[in-house]
Amino acid sequence: MSRTIYVAFLEGFNPSWGENLPARLTEWVPGPIEPLSSLALGMDPYYAPERGQYNATLVLARLLRYLPEPQAKIVGLTNVDLFIPVLTFVFGQAQLEGPGALVSTYRLRNEFYGLPPDAGLLRDRTIKEVVHELGHTFGLVHCRDYECVMHASTYVEEIDLKGPGFCSACRGGLHAATGTNATLGAGG
């Protein structure tokens, strides 16, 4: 029995490819994926002026209040720069075997690296990061296979190297966690 995964775009973030994201995610993650619109989650309270970034842990905690059913999962997408106190920045954050995940596109954009914008590349990187963080919510840890979506990425180049799919070992873990069979796309 798959649980619904809700996808929520947070304050002020409305990318052109956002509407198609739930459909694209169903290729890679088990379960119905539904958009969740009009969350009254303002980002201001989570801004850390001394860092010029937003506290991912606090945003994620707040996001969980919008979980429609206790057994569901929720992934929030934002375009602001996220940090957790021990790290300079994070592409995203998730609760291991928990209901919540958060992904930022801030450092997934070519523009951040002084390159021309590329909406397709941004969408693909975002899908990988969402699948990665959702993998953590299903209890998966980081994988050594650099083509597997569960490989840890510190640099955007590492995200580009991996696919949006799980390696066979991680797919096995996902299968065990969800009881679903993988008609899902295969990773590297």
Active site members: 133
At 111, list the tokens. 């523009």
CA dist 145 and 74 (Å) reads 26
Q: Are the C-beta atoms of 188 and 162 separated by less than 8 Å?
A: yes
60 binds Zn ion (CB under 5 A): no
Nearer to Zn ion, 71 or 154 (CB): 154
Residues 164-183 that bind Zn ion (CB under 5 A): 167, 170
Instruction: Retrieve residue 64's tokens.
Output: 């969980």
The secondary structure of 39-73 as a DSSP string is ----SGGGEETTTTEEEHHHHHHHHGGG-SSTT-E
Instruction: Determine if 11 is a binding residue for Zn ion (CB under 5 A).
Output: no
Q: Kindly list the distances between the CA atom of residue 6 and the CA atoms of 29, 112, 122, 158, in Å, as whole numbers in the listed order.
A: 12, 28, 20, 26
Binding status of residue 148 toward Zn ion by CB under 5 A? yes
Which lies closer to Zn ion via its Cβ, residue 87 or residue 115? 87
Q: Does 184 bind Zn ion (CB under 5 A)?
A: no
Residue 130 binding Zn ion, by CB under 5 A: no
Q: Look at residues 162, 157, 126, 123 and name the one whose alpha carbon lies nearest to residue 143.
A: 162
- Our finding on whether 150 is near Zn ion (CB under 5 A) is yes
In this complex, which beta carbon is closest to Zn ion, that of residue 25 or of residue 150?
150
The angle formed by the CA atoms of residues 5, 68 and 54, to the nearest 5 degrees, is 75
- Interface residue with Zn ion, options 29, 102, 143, 184 (CB under 5 A): 143
Least separation in angstroms between residue 74's CB and Zn ion is 17
Candidates 41-49, 59-67, 118-126, 163-171; binding stretch for Zn ion (CB under 5 A): 163-171
Which residues contact Zn ion (rule: CB under 5 A)?
143, 145, 148, 150, 167, 170
